[in-house]
């Protein structure tokens, strides 16, 4: 009777389970929002100091370019600069999935299917995210409100905007729902295990 050897059985590893699209808590999202604002203050101030300082120097060194120097005192030029700078900053990082603040608080931005954002969708999200500020700023400008009253209105509007996400089925902000994006919890990677140099 000949020996019958069974062919070796190979087991294929099952693909990893997809990460659930769970929205972070409002507390964590707002903490990330405040941290983002702190970082952006440094980004806007640092780059603005360099850019407008360069324009001011060019206007003084080249008399024919004096109008360039006057852009430093132009309010609309400053506003356009901040708007474009933030557009580049956010769309660049959102396409990658996270800004530095979002990485710190383990938050990621994806589309409705959980896929990375394309640049056009990231740009749409950036434009719609100005709904955080434009309505109260428009009211303050219309009624010429002083700085203290305007700050109260802005803070109240931001709080209302954040609380409204509680009524969304996926707990998303309204501008995310309009842009077709969503914020999800990003599970932090486990630190690599250290190899023991000796065994006990």
Within-domain flag for 16: no
Comparing 18-27, 96-105, 109-118, 132-141, the range with the smallest average pLDDT is 18-27
pLDDT at 58: 65
Going by pLDDT thresholds of 50, 70 and 90, the confidence category of residue 67 is low
Q: Would you give the DSSP letter of residue 169? A: T
pTM (2 d.p.): 0.78
Number of Cβ within 10 Å of residue 8's Cβ equals 5
Within-domain flag for 2: no
pLDDT, tens digit, for every residue of 119-165?
999 999 999 999 999 999 999 989 999 999 999 999 999 999 999 99
Query: Distance between CA atoms of 100 and 130, rounded to whole angstroms?
Result: 20
Going by pLDDT thresholds of 50, 70 and 90, the confidence category of residue 65 is low
Within-domain flag for 130: yes
Residue 194 has pLDDT above 80, yes or no: no
pLDDT, tens digit, for every residue of 175-185?
999 999 999 99
What average pLDDT score do residues 55-82 get?
Answer: 68
Within-domain flag for 11: no
What average pLDDT score do residues 29-55 get?
Answer: 86
Within-domain flag for 12: no
Residue 18 has pLDDT above 90, yes or no: no
pLDDT at 159: 95
User: 16 - beta bridge partners?
Assistant: none
SS3 113: coil
Within-domain flag for 161: yes
User: What separation in angstroms does the CA of 98 have from each of 36, 87, 123, 182?
Assistant: 11, 14, 14, 12
Number of domains in the chain: 1
What average pLDDT score do residues 15-22 get?
Answer: 61
* Domain range for 179: 26-185
Within-domain flag for 172: yes
User: What separation in angstroms does the CA of 24 have from each of 19, 94, 141?
Assistant: 13, 17, 34
Within-domain flag for 8: no
């Amino acid at each position: 009777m000949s020996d019958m050897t069974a062919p070796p059985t190979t087991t294929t590893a099952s693909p990893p389970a997809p990460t659930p699209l769970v929205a972070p808590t409002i507390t964590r999202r707002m903490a990330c929002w405040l941290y983002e604002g702190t970082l952006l203050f440094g980004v806007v101030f640092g780059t603005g100091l360099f850019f407008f300082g360069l324009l001011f120097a060019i206007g003084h060194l080249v008399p024919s370019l004096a109008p360039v120097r006057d852009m430093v005192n132009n309010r609309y030029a400053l506003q356009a600069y901040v708007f474009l700078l933030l557009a580049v900053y956010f769309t660049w990082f959102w396409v990658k999935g996270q800004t530095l603040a979002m990485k710190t608080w383990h938050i990621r931005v994806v589309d409705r299917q959980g896929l990375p954002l394309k640049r056009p969708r990231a740009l749409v999200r950036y434009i719609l995210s100005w709904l955080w500020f434009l309505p109260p700023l428009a009211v303050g400008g219309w009624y010429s409100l002083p700085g203290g009253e305007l700050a109260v209105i802005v803070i109240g509007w931001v709080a209302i905007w954040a609380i409204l996400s509680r009524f969304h089925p996926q707990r998303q902000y309204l501008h995310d729902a309009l842009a077709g994006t969503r914020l999800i919890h990003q599970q932090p990677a486990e630190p690599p295990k250290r190899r023991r140099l000796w065994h006990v």
